[in-house]
Amino acid sequence: MLTSLTSLTQAYTSQELIIAALLIPAVAAVLIPVFYKIPNLRELVTLVAAVALAMCTWSLYPRILAGEVPELKVWEVAPGLELAFKIEPLGMLFALIASTLWIVNSIYSIGYMRGNNEPRQTQFYVCFAVALSSTMALAFSANLFTMFLAYEALTLSTYPLVTHKGTPEAMKAGRVYMMLLIGTSMVLFLPAVILTWALTGSMDFTAGGIIPADGANALSPLVIGGLLALFVFGIGKAAVMPMHFWLPAAMVAPTPVSALLHAVAVVKAGVFSILKVVVYIFGIETLSSTNANAWIVYLASFCVLLASIIAMNQDNLKARLAYSTVSQLSYIVLGAALASAASITGGALHILMHAFAKITLFFCAGAIYVAHHKTEVSELDGIGKKMPLTMFAFMIATLSIIGLPPFGGTWSKWFLALGSLDANYQFACAVFMISSLLNIAYLMPIVSRAFFKPLPGHPEDKPVAIAEAPTACLIAITITMLGCIALFFYVNPALELIEMVDLGNRTDAASALNGVAPTGGTNGR
Amino acid sequence: MSALNWGAAEPHLPILLVMTPIFGALFSTFLRRGVLAWLLALIVTLSLPLMSITLLLKVLETGQPIIYKIGNWDAPFGIVYKVDQLSAYVLCVISFIGAVILPYARRSIAAEIEEPAQSWYITMYLLCLGGLLGIVITGDAFNAFVFLEISSLSTYVLIALGRHRRALLASYQYLIMGTIGATFYIIGVGLLYLVTGTLNFDDLSQRLSTAVADPGMRNATLTALGFIVVGLALKLALFPMHVWLPNAYAYAPSVATAFLAGTATKAAIYLLIRVVFSVFGTALSVEALPIPDLLLVLSLAAMFLASFSAVFENNAKRMLAYSSVAQVGYIMLGVALANQASMTGALAHIANHAIMKTALFLALGAVFYRIGSVLYSDMSGIGRKMPLTMAAFAIAGIGLMGTPGTSGFISKWYLAIGAIDAGLYSVVFMIVASSLISVVYIGRITEVVWFREPSPAAATAKEAPLSMLIPLWLLAGLTVYLGFDTRLTADVSAKAADILIGGIR
């Protein structure tokens, strides 16, 4: 399929494909309101745009694997502030995930929004398209300025989605969302960007980083650690505690928003940004040699465990999933903070694995709501009998989150644990293992409740009538569920891509990957 | 690359720029009907940006200031008009804002002002515009005072024409404060004249450098500096001398508020920069008096305290007025830090803020035109009825927050770099923290207009007419455009800053 796609887009240069990837969702955002009176046509615009976008990113993929580094300098706003795009492997991976899942999510949205008779659907699809355009810009950003621009655009475009219901509760959540995300980005992220520029005279993402740790202009570990703190807390979308409150609050949004944005695009934009900053601004060499990353390792480990414990005590299904996301995001931050080749690989892989698993879980939560208007975990007794497919998918995704084979989550956890040992943080390895147990503790009871507890008010011996969510929802759930399984067996395309990441000249990086990667090859480096 | 061919009038553009609006004001008094006066004003104001852009391009091209000698009397005996990078840039801002508002003004004036007063209003508008342009273009300290008074007096009338009875009181308040400010300025200029015997800015600057060697003269000079800075700080509404501004902006007719918010304080800021940097030079103002330190503290106070006042305001016009005080704080912060980057940020923000704030006030003017109120309680839910107006409002509001991709970000960027250059890292955080407060006050009104149920007044409202929407969207579009293309703002500002800072060394 990929080869036929490649021949289809062969005529276009990579630069043109970048432009297309940025513009397709933007054009869709303009076209959607045009057809607001004809819902079928309106949804068709979204679907066509999603497919076209995925075609763009998937035809860029082989080119990146072949070693191409497409660059697109749009415009220099002011000295140092350049609007520029460059595709490096991490960004390619993120763009692939977001664009592919947009198709699935659009199918699901149609089922969910119509099944629920939600108001203001046009506005919903417009904001979604704008958010995707911002996500693409973030994934392909070539420097901190472009990244910051896309980051803020993503916050602003998702605010109307969070407040979609217009209830006082939604408004309050919207306020928390804005204040935490805009607040952290303005007060911490922006100064971090400014200081980076002032200290190094550059903002470009560069292999090996731009922060000097030795030589004439060396910065003290204290300054490097402080700068890292500004980035980690400033990128509030990564939901590192205590900047995580916006994520549970944002759960008032319709479920497709929680699914694609607050399990994939927005939160992953956060951890992706942190990963990118660690790899291309600081450089893992710099971090591990100055030990400026140590405190984040501890903080992220703490977040992983604490968020899991909080998740256990949430009765609201979406809130439980949200805290689970907070915990899982800290895996990736931890992977970045450990600053070894394997941990970076694990972090990047976890962006992919968690995306598929968590979007499935949210799809299921939404399906339960559409079909039976149930939102609390305690109401889910025996629901597996009514919605067998949905709850089966829920179970698969749960197992993937836990990290059991044969599900995708296995790989990311493997590399993360390996990375923690490489970086000489043995306790972090323990954290990953304990956290797996906690995952079981807060997700598995939902599955067992759904399948093994009796359906309240229903005689045990009689068969239960199946009442599943709309077909569009089920299609989406099935696709992402199968994705969780497929990613265990077909992890190579992602791994090959991540192996292309230029971590700077580190000799042990190659050997660390060599022993464990299923391909066994590191020729991409 | 002179874009326009002015023919024989070309050398006389500096004087034409001031005299066209003033003569326009004179003629419009004879036009009894508002429409005719408006048509005249439209032609006059549209010609002004063309003139100032020609001047700016010429200055940028040659790199030399344009000196225009009135009556061909040489300086320092005659009055000269001097157009350099800085003044040409501010001239462009003021004349552009003045022109963009006029097409919008027709319906707004017709709705808010009774017929016989409509042509007076136009007269005062043109007179004020002429005065502001005069302040910026003149190279003479006393002439600047004259223009300052022309613009102030006409401003008092503009405010007093507001429909609300409290407009009179607001105008009176401003009259008292403005007069004190102008008096302080002229006392300072008088002292300078005693010390040097000249009023020409360039001449003053030269003679002061020798005159301050004498201790007595030095003291007189410092006193003059004190008077001038305080006087102008009153006019530009530097915290805590801003108390006249919120009421004046709130009760003036919508068009007047939009115009004044974009231009009036900017001209006073220009004059302050001109006097402190070009005449005294920072050597004197820094070493002898802690003026930059004082300005730094006051502008930081403005950024925080005025922003807080804006958060708790329930009248949208007053909210934006407090925000203006805070934004003046940003500009003065850049002036106080007095290095190349910060000055670039300050000057860029003169244009950026003028455009954003005018757009915001124009949007409110459109709301007032439809529902006759700008109280939050009446404006709730208006976004659904006037989506285009309020979308433009939201865009300009996002610009005010300093989000990247808008012009507000550019100003903030340069200010922050300037603070780092000055070694004041804490100021960087204060800049970003105070813009967070603007997120709160913009967020609050956004919530009111978009997400609340429509009030009885808003329920029947219609979208604003096209003549209002076009100027509004032009400015909102510029807010975004200038966030990407900074050739006209930051680049020109950087050149002007070079000259100002270079003048010190």
CB–CB contact A179 B414 (8 Å)? no
Question: Which is more confident, B469 or A262?
Answer: B469
Chain A residues near residue B401 by CB distance under 8 angstroms: 182, 186
Among A331-345, A374-388, B48-62, B411-425, the range scoring the smallest mean pLDDT is A374-388
Tell me if chain B has a CB within 8 Å of the CB of A433.
no
Chain A residues near residue B432 by CB distance under 8 angstroms: 186-187, 190-191
Chain A residues near residue B439 by CB distance under 8 angstroms: 178-179, 182-183, 186
Structure tokens at B85: 């990078």
Q: How far is A48 from chain B (nearest CA, A)?
A: 27
Q: Taking Cα atoms as reference points, which of B489, B478, B476 lies closest to residue B412?
A: B489
Structure tokens at B499: 């000259």
B286: pLDDT confidence band, cut at 50, 70 and 90?
low
Output b/e per residue, B384-416; b: 16+ Cβ within 10 A.
bbbebbbbbbbbbbbbbbbbbbbbbbbbbbbbb
- The model's pLDDT over A255-313, given as tens digits with 9 standing for 90+, comes to 888 887 777 888 899 999 999 999 999 888 888 888 888 888 899 999 999 999 999 88
Q: pLDDT at position A501, please?
A: 84
- The Cα A125–Cα A43 span in angstroms is 8
Is beta strand B80-83 parallel, antiparallel or unpaired with respect to B66-69?
A: antiparallel
pLDDT of A61 higher than 80: yes
Calculate ∠ Cα B320-B321-B323, nearest 5°.
60
CB–CB contact A152 B413 (8 Å)? no
- The model's pLDDT over A468-524, given as tens digits with 9 standing for 90+, comes to 878 888 888 898 899 888 988 888 888 888 888 877 754 444 444 444 444 433 333
| Residues 308-367 in A contacting B (C-alpha not used; CB under 8 Å) | none
CB–CB contact B398 A191 (8 Å)? no
CB–CB contact A195 B420 (8 Å)? yes
| Residues 367-406 in B contacting A (C-alpha not used; CB under 8 Å) | 398, 401-405
Mean pLDDT of the A67-78 span: 85
CB–CB contact A186 B414 (8 Å)? no
CB–CB contact A187 B436 (8 Å)? yes
Helix (H) or strand (E) holding A76: strand A71-78
- Assess contact for B346 and B415: CB atoms under 8 A: yes
- The model's pLDDT over A219-249, given as tens digits with 9 standing for 90+, comes to 888 888 889 999 999 998 888 888 888 888 8
Tell me if chain B has a CB within 8 Å of the CB of A75.
yes
Q: How far is B428 from chain A (nearest CA, A)?
A: 7
CB–CB contact A75 B485 (8 Å)? yes
- The model's pLDDT over A103-128, given as tens digits with 9 standing for 90+, comes to 888 888 888 888 777 777 888 888 88
CB–CB contact A182 B439 (8 Å)? yes
Q: pLDDT at position B504, please?
A: 45
- The model's pLDDT over B50-76, given as tens digits with 9 standing for 90+, comes to 999 999 999 998 888 889 988 888 877
Q: pLDDT at position B287, please?
A: 66
Q: pLDDT at position B398, please?
A: 92
Tell me if chain B has a CB within 8 Å of the CB of A179.
yes
- The model's pLDDT over B405-429, given as tens digits with 9 standing for 90+, comes to 899 999 999 999 999 988 888 999 9
Q: How far is B400 from chain A (nearest CA, A)?
A: 13
Question: Which is more confident, A358 or A260?
Answer: A358
CB–CB contact B436 A190 (8 Å)? no
- The Cα A403–Cα A438 span in angstroms is 12
Residue with tokens 């509760």: A169
In single-letter form, the type of residue at position A184 comes to T
Q: pLDDT at position A506, please?
A: 43
Structure tokens at A55: 């075609």
Residue in B closest to A177 by C-alpha: B443
- B432 → closest Cβ in A156, A178, A191: A191
Structure tokens at B118: 């409509």
Structure tokens at B168: 């009179």
B282: pLDDT confidence band, cut at 50, 70 and 90?
low
- Assess contact for B449 and B380: CB atoms under 8 A: yes
Mean pLDDT of the A15-44 span: 87
- The Cα A334–Cα A416 span in angstroms is 8
CB–CB contact B404 A198 (8 Å)? no
- A81 → closest Cβ in B413, B432, B439: B413
Tell me if chain B has a CB within 8 Å of the CB of A77.
yes
Calculate ∠ Cα B428-B430-B434, nearest 5°.
125
Is beta strand A81-86 parallel, antiparallel or unpaired with respect to A71-78?
A: antiparallel
- The model's pLDDT over B331-353, given as tens digits with 9 standing for 90+, comes to 999 998 888 899 999 999 999 99
CB–CB contact A186 B485 (8 Å)? no
- The model's pLDDT over A214-224, given as tens digits with 9 standing for 90+, comes to 776 778 888 88
Residue in B closest to A80 by C-alpha: B413
CB–CB contact A153 B405 (8 Å)? yes
Q: How far is B484 from chain A (nearest CA, A)?
A: 5
User: Other C-beta atoms within 10 Å of B168: how many?
Assistant: 14
Best of A190, A203, A227, A273 to substitute, by most chain B Cβ atoms within 10 angstroms, is A190
H-state helical runs in B316-381: 316-337, 340-371, 376-379
CA A370 to chain CA centroid, Å, is: 25
Chain A residues near residue B451 by CB distance under 8 angstroms: 163, 166, 171, 174
CB–CB contact B410 A78 (8 Å)? yes
- The model's pLDDT over B448-461, given as tens digits with 9 standing for 90+, comes to 888 888 888 888 88
- A148 → closest Cβ in B404, B432, B451: B404
Q: How far is A496 from chain B (nearest CA, A)?
A: 35
Give the contacts of B77 (CB within 8 A, at least 6 positions apart).
none
Mean pLDDT of the B168-179 span: 93
Tell me if chain B has a CB within 8 Å of the CB of A191.
yes
pLDDT of A380 higher than 60: yes
Give the contacts of B22 (CB within 8 A, at least 6 positions apart).
B126, B127, B130, B150
User: Other C-beta atoms within 10 Å of B239: how many?
Assistant: 22
Q: Is the ipTM beyond the 0.90 threshold?
A: no
- The Cα A250–Cα A208 span in angstroms is 36
Q: How far is A197 from chain B (nearest CA, A)?
A: 9
For residue B252, the SS3 value is coil
Q: How far is B182 from chain A (nearest CA, A)?
A: 38
pLDDT of A34 higher than 50: yes
Structure tokens at A515: 């022993």
- The model's pLDDT over A413-428, given as tens digits with 9 standing for 90+, comes to 999 999 998 888 888 8
Q: pLDDT at position A513, please?
A: 45
Chain B residues near residue A186 by CB distance under 8 angstroms: 401-402, 432, 435-436, 439
Q: pLDDT at position B3, please?
A: 57
Question: Which is more confident, A14 or B135?
Answer: B135
Q: How far is A69 from chain B (nearest CA, A)?
A: 25
Q: Mean pLDDT in chain B?
A: 89
Question: Which is more confident, B6 or A513?
Answer: B6
Tell me if chain B has a CB within 8 Å of the CB of A182.
yes
